[in-house]
Structure 1
Amino acid sequence: MNNHIPLKQGDSKQTIVIMFALLAALIFCVYYLELSFIDMIMGVPNFLAFFFQEFLPPNLGNFSEYIPLVIDTLGYAVIATYISTIVAFVLGILISEHTNKFKPLRVFIRGFITILRNIPFIIWGALLVYIFGIGGIVGVLALILVTVGFLGKSYADSIDEISGDKLEALQANGASYFQILFHGVIPQFVPAWINWTLFAFEINVRASTVLGLVGAGGIGVLIDTNINLFNYGEAMTIITVIVGIILITEYITNSIRSRIA
């Protein structure tokens, strides 16, 4: 029995064109950037030798001093996620076609949050440092700005995907806008809201560890400081702590997802 499903001639030609275009783009980028894969491969032994000599073993002498910064880092992620969830929920309602029929407002807000989410955390942090100076407020604000953009779009898309039958039934029975919102939209939206919010928290934990590199507070500050001072052993300890934080966070959020699934 022949299980082969033949592609249409037009589809096969299109696939070949796309593959050649991608290959051409790769070749152009390598040529334009003057990358040498041979140099990269030849440099691997030197990198490994430097890493094992300088970064290992980690220096655990000041481990207790990192605990307050770990708490700060997690605190930034928690605060940013809480605030972003509230703001993004309101924006998501204003963007969704189910909950806002005024298209110009939807387009304007969607464009606004697109700008927010497409500027990376690290750039927001670098910009905000010039306004507020070095400190935790910079990290929290940078996380909020990107997370509001990310969650606003995600929430709106999830609201658009819910079944409109119940909403139409409520509207046909004379329900008000807020009755439709609280009895029709939100109950169907809650599972997606939980999943997106947990995912945003994971991202914020990772980002909050990196924002310290631009002076936005948290444990990331110590990575930059120790590497600049050639304290590679301590830098490795901090990196290990960061990896541990991320893994624990993912374990907790995955456990929550499995319980509510």
Structure 2
Amino acid sequence: MQASYFLKKRLSTALFIIILLAITAGAVILTGFDFMAGFASIPKAAEWGITQFYPTAESLDKLPDILDKLLETIMLSIASTTIAGGAAVILAVLGSKTMQVHVIFSVICRGIASVFRNIDVSAWSLILLFSFGQHVLTGFFALFFVSFGFLTRAFTETIDEVSSHAVEALKAAGAGYFTIVFRSVIPSAIPRKLSWVLFMMETNIRSATLVGILTGTGIGFSFDLYYKSFNYHAASLVVICIVATILAIEFVSNTIRRMIL
């Protein structure tokens, strides 16, 4: 019996690997990708990066403008994440299995979160570009919509995980709906919710660079402008500032998460 189980498991694993390899081979054939040419281009790409893509004394003159755009991107990411987190708390409470008003309403809330989450931030940027043009609001709403969908899903699962026993106890004691929400559901889930908000904030700062390239705002626009004008030294300085900022924010975020969890 046990041998038969392991045999079936090995066969299913082998079948999965074969299917994955077949899909990969099909993709390579359809796209005309050449592995050998790709590997052969690595030395030339590395040589170009070493000889062209580095900051110079002249590019450092642009550092104040780069830092200004970087600060704008960070503030945009923080604002979109925190506002999305506040809105997500409401939808998560109404959509959770623990505190749902009605099963249909819960399904609707989860469906709304799924739609916002599964449309990529680049797609949102292009969709909103037609409405707001190249404006900071385009980037804000693109990050807000994705953050809202993701955080609603994360908050919903968090509420269902950490609040079920306390909610049952309060219901048995005769507590009302809003009393349970504000005295039990939200307080008990706050540490994990803050952790998810910090994670989303990190993600949005990374995504904001791509959003800026698409919408013509923030640090992404600066990189796109310098790169397309062949000012690779200034573009490399932008990349260094972005990487340093992401690493610093990740360090701070991880430190805060260790303190609250």
Matches within 5 A, 1:26-65: 26-58=24-56, 59-65=59-65
Contact 1:139 1:216 (C-alpha < 8 Å) held by counterparts: no
Give CA deviations for 1:2-31 in whole Å, capped at 9, x if unaligned.
xxx965222222222112111222222112
Aligned-pair CA distance for 1:101: 4.3
Matches within 5 A, 1:105-254: 105-254=105-254
Give the Cα–Cα distance (whole angstroms) in 2 for the partners of residues 204 and 148 of structure 1: 12
Give the Cα–Cα distance (whole angstroms) in 2 for the partners of residues 216 and 184 of structure 1: 44
Aligned-pair CA distance for 1:241: 0.6
Describe the SS at the equivalent of 1:100.
coil
One-letter identity of the residue aligned with 1:104: I
Describe the SS at the equivalent of 1:219.
helix
Give CA deviations for 1:134-185 in whole Å, capped at 9, x if unaligned.
1211111111010000000010011111252221111111100011112221
Give the Cα–Cα distance (whole angstroms) in 2 for the partners of residues 36 and 108 of structure 1: 46
Give the Cα–Cα distance (whole angstroms) in 1 for the partners of residues 166 and 212 of structure 2: 47
Give the Cα–Cα distance (whole angstroms) in 2 for the partners of residues 75 and 125 of structure 1: 18
Aligned-pair CA distance for 1:227: 1.1
Give the Cα–Cα distance (whole angstroms) in 2 for the partners of residues 57 and 235 of structure 1: 8
Deviation larger for 176-185 or 138-147: 176-185
2:28 matches 1:11: no
5+ unaligned residues in a row in structure 1: which ranges?
none
| Residue aligning to 1:70 | 70
Give the Cα–Cα distance (whole angstroms) in 2 for the partners of residues 242 and 60 of structure 1: 15
Q: CA RMSD in A?
A: 1.6
Give CA deviations for 1:38-67 in whole Å, capped at 9, x if unaligned.
110111122122222221244312112222
Give the Cα–Cα distance (whole angstroms) in 2 for the partners of residues 20 and 68 of structure 1: 51
Give the Cα–Cα distance (whole angstroms) in 1 for the partners of residues 239 and 52 of structure 2: 14
One-letter identity of the residue aligned with 1:118: N
Give the Cα–Cα distance (whole angstroms) in 2 for the partners of residues 70 and 171 of structure 1: 49
Give the Cα–Cα distance (whole angstroms) in 1 for the partners of residues 184 and 226 of structure 2: 54
5+ unaligned residues in a row in structure 2: which ranges?
none
Aligned residues between the structures: 257
How many percent of aligned residue pairs carry the same amino acid?
Answer: 30
Contact 1:55 1:232 (C-alpha < 8 Å) held by counterparts: yes
One-letter identity of the residue aligned with 1:236: S
Describe the SS at the equivalent of 1:60.
helix
The structure where helix makes up a greater share of residues is 2
Give CA deviations for 1:215-257 in whole Å, capped at 9, x if unaligned.
2521110111111110010000001111111111101101111
Report the CA distance shift for 1:55/1:121 in structure 2 as closer, same or farther (over 3 A). Answer: same
Give the Cα–Cα distance (whole angstroms) in 2 for the partners of residues 57 and 86 of structure 1: 40
One-letter identity of the residue aligned with 2:180: I
One-letter identity of the residue aligned with 1:182: F
Give the Cα–Cα distance (whole angstroms) in 1 for the partners of residues 167 and 216 of structure 2: 44
Give the Cα–Cα distance (whole angstroms) in 1 for the partners of residues 64 and 216 of structure 2: 21
Instruction: Normalising by structure 1, report the TM-score.
Output: 0.93
Instruction: Normalising by structure 2, report the TM-score.
Output: 0.93
Give the Cα–Cα distance (whole angstroms) in 2 for the partners of residues 117 and 168 of structure 1: 30
